[in-house]
Amino acid sequence: MLATTGWTAVHRPEGGTPLRAAALTAWSHARVGGRPVPAADAAPPVVARFFAGLDSAERARLAEGHPLVVGNLDGVPPATRYQANRYGLAQAERVEEARSHDVALTPVDRATATRRAHRFASLAEPGRQILAFDPTGGGHVAEVFGSLDRARRISVVVPGVDSDLITFERTQRRFTAPVGMAESLYEAQRAAAPPDRTAVIAWAGYTAPTGVGMDAATGRLAVDGARRLQSLTAALPGRSGVALFCHSYGSVVCGVAAHQLPRRVTDVVVAGSPGMRAETVAELHTSARVWATRDTDDWIADVPHLEVGGLGHGADPVSPGFGARVLSSGTARTHTGYFAPGTGSVANFARIGTGAFDSVECATGDDTCRDGISGTPQD
């Protein structure tokens, strides 16, 4: 299959800084009012109960003293995570700035450090709501558009290959990067249902494959990504419904996560999917509605939709036998165009994200994909 599709083994370099490891060590000894803090891998409800018992000053001290833990800890209130990640970004920027001038490093490493320092400075700009930030290796990051605390519905954009700290946002080809994808979806949702309070998360919170290599052909990285996605969705504040918008390899992550997602995840939408590690929707074992779309110009259609010896990701989600609700992609172009403003695909995503199912356009031109769904937006 690798020979047929032209996939080659490309591996992500283990660059970056050891800040997170040092932060975890310090956190393991931290105490508040004589009480130990929860473990860095504690379940979100445990973390939420602990932070609910703290006053604002205690939360602020933990955010400032342990930013790279508090800023990534599911269950911590979003405002505290935003505050912590501003500290963490500033700390990481200083480290990378120093590395960019370190003559002991190669020119390539110094250039990478410069790029990372610039990215961290951008993420730390006033008004940005960074929900997660870990500079280790290629890095993990997530950003929120809107208010998670007030939202009636929350959408999570789960990107595919080549998603890391550096590629989290782009100036050129803006809407192919997680930030641009989420911003476009957020604006489309606000235009589709202005009275509704919505929020969108750009989530590059897992280690994605680099290029369409061996990692992209297996589910290895998707397993860890699925665990992180489940933790994120379980820890979101309030009782708002959640929709996942999973692009390319992100749909593999969503497929692996499907059976363990909380019931508040009402919809899983996959675009340009190589497969979801399942042969049918029933094999996903989820209560969520499963939607799929693919543009006619998307090269992913030429990737064999099968799984042999761990390679490949199973059936094509837009095939009739899979059983997904197949959406029109409208005027989307190629594999990376699904979130571009003005496309039929992003308009459909916005309708699903706001619960306006009566307006969803099916790939078949009729109402087949809307069968059995009420058009009333859900809270």
User: In this structure, what DSSP letter does residue 256 have?
Assistant: H
The two beta strands, 35-36 and 31-32, are antiparallel
- Phi (first) and psi of residue 311, to 5 degrees: -95, 135
Asked if 83 and 56 count as a contact pair (C-beta separation under 8 A), the reply is no
As a whole number of angstroms, the distance between CA 343 and CA 67 comes to 39
Asked if 168 and 202 count as a contact pair (C-beta separation under 8 A), the reply is yes
Dihedral of alpha carbons 177, 144, 238, 197, sign: negative
pTM: 0.92
Asked if 83 and 58 count as a contact pair (C-beta separation under 8 A), the reply is no
Q: What's the start-to-end Cα distance of the chain, in Å?
A: 44
As a whole number of angstroms, the distance between CA 271 and CA 294 comes to 6
As a whole number of angstroms, the distance between CA 261 and CA 15 comes to 32
Which regions of the chain carry the CATH code 3.40.50.1820?
138-379
Interval 178-220: pLDDT, tens: 999 999 999 999 998 877 899 999 999 999 999 877 888 888 9
Q: Name residue 263's beta-bridge partners.
A: none
CA dist list (Å): 65 to 27, 37, 70, 88: 9, 13, 9, 10
pLDDT of residue 194: 79
pLDDT of residue 307: 74
34-43 burial: b if 16+ Cβ within 10 Å, else e: eeebbebebe
CATH number of the domain at 138-379, out of 3.40.605.10, 3.40.50.2300, 3.40.50.1820, 2.30.42.10?
3.40.50.1820
- Cβ-Cβ contacts under 8 Å for 118 (sequence gap 6 or more): none
Residue-by-residue pLDDT tens, the chain, 379 positions: 333 333 323 333 334 458 999 999 999 999 998 999 999 999 999 999 999 999 999 999 999 999 999 999 999 999 999 999 999 999 999 999 999 999 999 999 999 999 999 999 999 999 999 999 999 999 999 999 999 999 999 999 999 999 999 999 999 999 999 999 999 999 999 998 877 899 999 999 999 999 877 888 888 999 999 999 999 999 999 999 999 999 999 999 999 999 999 999 999 999 999 999 999 999 999 999 999 999 999 989 888 887 777 787 889 999 999 999 999 998 898 999 999 999 999 999 999 999 999 999 999 999 999 999 965 444 4
pLDDT of residue 304: 80
pLDDT of residue 287: 96
Asked if 227 and 256 count as a contact pair (C-beta separation under 8 A), the reply is no
As a whole number of angstroms, the distance between CA 272 and CA 181 comes to 14
- Cβ-Cβ contacts under 8 Å for 16 (sequence gap 6 or more): 116, 135, 136, 137, 138, 139
- C-alpha radius of gyration, the chain, whole number: 20
Angle ∠(208,209,215) on CA atoms, nearest 5: 130
SS3 assignment, position 175 = helix
As a whole number of angstroms, the distance between CA 202 and CA 159 comes to 8
Q: Which among 264, 156, 152 is positioned nearest to 197, based on CA atoms? A: 152
pLDDT of residue 11: 34
- Phi (first) and psi of residue 23, to 5 degrees: -65, -40
